[in-house]
Amino acid sequence: MSSQFQGIKGTRRMTRTAQRADVTIHSAFTDVELHDWLRWAEENGSSFPKATADAGFIADLKHYNLLRPVLLELKKEWPRPA
């Protein structure tokens, strides 16, 4: 996705290309990629992954989508045991 901006009367707005980008909205309960890990981290993780997983479950959609990249990184650092 191109993040080009155009100035219009002193304001900035995204070009049509960026505005049409498909953005998937997730929640901790519907996020197929993270849900199992979040449950595991909430129950078995050390203090930081556990607190972050808790935050994921209580976050509204807007804030969950802000947390999601962090949660994906935490999942890599603290993988769920097989």
Q: Tens of pLDDT along 31-56?
A: 999 999 999 999 998 899 999 999 99
CA distance 54 to 34: 13
**Residue 49 sits in which domain range?**
23-77
CB 6 within 8 A of CB 13: yes
3-state secondary structure of 16: helix
Q: Is residue 42 part of a domain?
A: yes
Q: Is residue 53 part of a domain?
A: yes
Question: Looking at the 3D structure of the chain, how many domains does it have?
Answer: 1
At 65-75, the pLDDT tens digits run: 999 999 999 99
66 found inside a domain: yes
Q: What is the pLDDT, as a whole number, of residue 45?
A: 85
The answer to whether position 31 is within a domain reads yes
In a domain, 9, yes or no: no
